[in-house]
Structure 1
């Protein structure tokens, strides 16, 4: 089978198309999936640059997100049968178990039935960003109806689904964008107010929108500087969540005066630390999001697709920044 493999760390050029044996079932709860599409995420580029996050190490196949068709099942598999369409976020953190490949063998517990309303490309784009946004808003920030929520980079991968999840919970949403096209998408997805961070002062814009109160919840998807600049835009006793390392140089005096609750979100933890209960919780999240997708209440925006052997080009584009929505490898 064809896979994209890295044998050393480096730039996009280290992503190599190679031929590897088709994986075989190794346990009674395993299923073999013919992958139809694989999502491309920032974590893929970081592992390519800095190395795997798991002891399996190199060579490694990247790609946490996958969608495809079940082709074979182990003797104890009860949840799926050959021909079922599935989606999942699993693998891609080290060793051969990644989704930039034509086939994956995976335990049935890590897989969910694909939403019926979308194709394989949209399904493969969705799991990691849905889990990240859901955990950040619901599990970390305890999102509630009527709250005012600031989502940074609202046209990005996590941001554009976070806007929708916040609106579905009855919150009012503002977001930061880089231009009018991204603002149009954010408004379409439910953002009430867009802040062009090139032209507008974040604090002034947020305080004007909230009548001087600040936002109850803010989700940082950008990095340390945005995290720091968001603190003065928060309401007293608010929740500020970041999906990135906020960095060592943090002055938290204002955050303390505001009694902010600061939270870190990394949806990869259940994979990295082998936490079965957390994996089950993420499965429940994916099922709930799948229901929302099938009802037409939630969608994932895919801005561009690439063939498997174009993975390096997808990485180059993602690393340039400012991608709208998601990028996907289309294996069909």
Structure 2
């Protein structure tokens, strides 16, 4: 099969299209999937730059997100059959092969049926960002109808699905964005307020929007000082969740302490990294629930650009350039 191999940590040029042996089913509960598309995520570029979680297993095939057609099933598979269309977040961290390839294997417990209303490219763009937003808002923060939520970078990969999931839940949403075009997008997705953070103090804008009270939940997808500034926009006994490391060098927890805030971190890769089967099954259930939302027209994925598999290095350069709207995928 053809695959993009990461030959060593480094620049995008370490991603090389090569011919490698076909994958085969190793366990009776596995699926062999003929991939049609693979999603590109920031974790891919970080692993390419610094090395994977399994540096002794090189070269590696990156790519956590995939969508394709079941080509073969193990003897004990019950949920799927040959010809089924699936999407999933699995592999790509340096151990189990990722999805920048023509074939993938996955335990049936971790796969979900592809939304009928989405193309393979759209479906491949969705899993990691859906799981991140769902876990952050629902599993970490227990978002409730009527609550107010601040979503940072609401036109980005995670942000644009977080806005929609919050609205579907019945929450009221405001979001920071960088341009008027992105402001229009987040409003179309259901945000009541789009804050151009380069021109406006987002804390003041949030306070004006909430009549001085603050939001119930701040969802940080930016990191750095942005997280700690966000705490100023959260109401007393509210919550803040981030998908990035805390900036410990410049940490200021006084606001969180004085407001009795609950602070959470979200890393949807934890179940895969630690082999937590029940948690990975829960993630597949999340993707099944989101497939229903897609097919009911309640949820959309914004696909910015699709590139051929051979142009994986170009896709990494585009993502690393920043200011991405929505998602990038590779077409296989």
User: What secondary structure does 1:124 align onto?
Assistant: helix
Give 1:95 shift.
3.6
Unpaired segments ≥5 residues, structure 1: none
Contact 1:54/1:94 (<8 A) preserved = yes
Contact 2:68/2:86 (<8 A) preserved = yes
Contact 2:147/2:172 (<8 A) preserved = yes
Answering whether residue 329 of structure 2 is matched by residue 315 of structure 1, we say: no
Give 1:277 shift.
1.3
Match of 2:174 in 1: 174
Instruction: State the number of aligned residues.
Output: 331
**1:129-144 aligned within 5 A:** 129-144=129-144
Give 1:259 shift.
0.4
**1:58-69 aligned within 5 A:** 58-69=58-69
Match of 1:85 in 2: 85
Match of 2:17 in 1: 17
User: What secondary structure does 1:168 align onto?
Assistant: helix
Match of 2:298 in 1: 297
Match of 2:34 in 1: 34
Give 1:57 shift.
3.1
In 1, Cα distance between equivalents of 2:60 and 2:245: 24
**1:177-192 aligned within 5 A:** 177-192=177-192
Give 1:287 shift.
0.9
Give 1:201 shift.
0.7
Match of 2:53 in 1: 53
Unpaired segments ≥5 residues, structure 2: none
Q: Deviations over 1:74-100 (max 9, x none)?
A: 111111111110000000000461000
User: What secondary structure does 2:247 align onto?
Assistant: coil
Answering whether residue 233 of structure 2 is matched by residue 233 of structure 1, we say: yes
Give 1:54 shift.
3.4
In 2, Cα distance between equivalents of 1:209 and 1:54: 46
After superposition, the CA RMSD in angstroms is 0.9
Match of 1:3 in 2: 3
Match of 1:109 in 2: 109
In 1, Cα distance between equivalents of 2:192 and 2:46: 33
In 1, Cα distance between equivalents of 2:21 and 2:185: 42
Match of 1:164 in 2: 164
Match of 2:121 in 1: 121
In 2, Cα distance between equivalents of 1:224 and 1:198: 16
In 2, Cα distance between equivalents of 1:225 and 1:2: 42
TM-score (norm 1): 0.98
In 1, Cα distance between equivalents of 2:90 and 2:225: 30
**1:181-330 aligned within 5 A:** 181-249=181-249, 250-330=251-331
User: What secondary structure does 2:38 align onto?
Assistant: strand
In 2, Cα distance between equivalents of 1:97 and 1:167: 35
Q: Which has the larger displacement, 238-247 or 55-64?
A: 55-64
Give 1:64 shift.
0.2
Give 1:31 shift.
1.3
Q: Which has the larger displacement, 288-297 or 106-115?
A: 106-115
Match of 1:100 in 2: 100
User: What secondary structure does 1:36 align onto?
Assistant: strand
Contact 1:59/1:96 (<8 A) preserved = no
